[in-house]
Amino acid sequence: MDTRPFGIDFGGSGIKGALVDLGDGDFDGDRVKIKTPQPATPGAVAEVVAELLGHFPNRTGPVGITVPGVVHRGVVGSAANIDPAWIGEDADALFTKATGHEVHIVNDADAAGLAEVRYGAAKGRDGLVIVTTLGTGIGSALVYDGALVPNSELGHLELNGGDAEQYAANSARENEDLTFEEWAERLTEYYSMVEALFSPDLFVVGGGISKKSAEFLPLIDIRTEMVPATLRNRAGIVGAALWAAEAAAHH
């Protein structure tokens, strides 16, 4: 029997999972990916998660799943970019019942934040690290001396009279066809505000676009040190597994 934790990244296009080695924060064996069902309602996603876990019949460890919304004690509290049916869903209970395994959900940016601080760009850094993910929305994780303060939701600060993520997320760059220079100006406004509110020691910038960080990170003009995420598309899976292992240990 394999008791290692399992991480699942629930994204807009794919639901991806792998066993995780918490020693080095890497996948232990293959990653399996299944297309995200449309609409991605809780029931439809639970079926895919059960199917995905079916590829790993000998594992018994805890399962962590990222969700792009507020997560409070296993219950989803917001759905800015996902099906509204998630709001109020006790997803820990739903997934645990659907799979027959102990499942703990975690906010997607919080998972990435945990992983970057434990194994990636912010490894060994103390003080306040703010990990942001620039994607469809803006996700955030506040990690102080290695401890996560979950559900910071800094993508929904007000900027320019609206929701910051609608102005400064990578989706805004794509939808409005912004150059990296134009986008970096908006990111400077965004990160300046977060910097003024929290005085962090370090910003880590993640999300799929972070692989092109050389094109825009140097153009963001703030005082705080800023580095690209290093776990890339492993951060969600690794962070979810870490979260589940810690939650299981507290039971």
CB of 50 or CB of 75, closer to ligand BGC: 75
CB of 44 or CB of 79, closer to ligand BGC: 79
Q: Residue 104 CB, nearest distance to ligand BGC (Å)?
A: 16
Using the rule CB under 6 A, is 36 a contact of ligand BGC? no
Q: Which stretch binds ligand BGC (CB under 6 A): 33-41, 73-81, 214-222, 228-236?
A: 73-81
Using the rule CB under 6 A, is 170 a contact of ligand BGC? no
CB of 84 or CB of 218, closer to ligand BGC: 84
Using the rule CB under 6 A, is 133 a contact of ligand BGC? yes
Residue numbers 108-127 binding ligand BGC by CB under 6 A: 108-109
Using the rule CB under 6 A, is 74 a contact of ligand BGC? no
Using the rule CB under 6 A, is 171 a contact of ligand BGC? no
Question: Exposed e or buried b for every residue in 122-148, given b needs 16+ CB within 10 A?
Answer: beebeebbbbbbbbbbbbbbbbbeeeb
Using the rule CB under 6 A, is 165 a contact of ligand BGC? yes
Using the rule CB under 6 A, is 107 a contact of ligand BGC? yes
* Site residues for ligand BGC per CB under 6 A: 68-70, 78, 80-81, 107-109, 133, 135, 137, 139, 153, 155, 165
